[in-house]
Amino acid sequence: MFPTHCPLRLRSHPQLRRMVRETVLNTNDLIYPLFAVPRESVANEVKSMPGVFQLSVDKIVEEAKQVYDLGIPAVILFGIPEDKDVEATGA
């Protein structure tokens, strides 16, 4: 027999409801990646990621302001060393 009663045990508490709700994505969930390089006035395009650039600190500040104005609340900063070697001496 088909059940005539549907238990709502997964909706009984706010934390449980939050766990089982449908996924909703908005700008508050985004983190914008920024790639920092040494020197000034640098904007090198990352060939494997069209539209993404390695930027010097002065350019990163401008980019971060634009990202904030778009409503994206966070950035993640990746430092790109000037010289790379197998021993990671630049780190």
**Closest CA relative to residue 43, chosen from 53, 52, 32:** 53
pLDDT tens digits, one per residue of 36-50:
999 999 999 999 989
Q: Is the pLDDT of residue 67 over 70?
A: yes
Q: Do the Cβ atoms of 22 and 52 come closer than 8 Å?
A: no
Q: Is the pLDDT of residue 16 over 90?
A: no
Residue 6: band (very low, low, confident or very high) from pLDDT cuts 50, 70, 90:
low
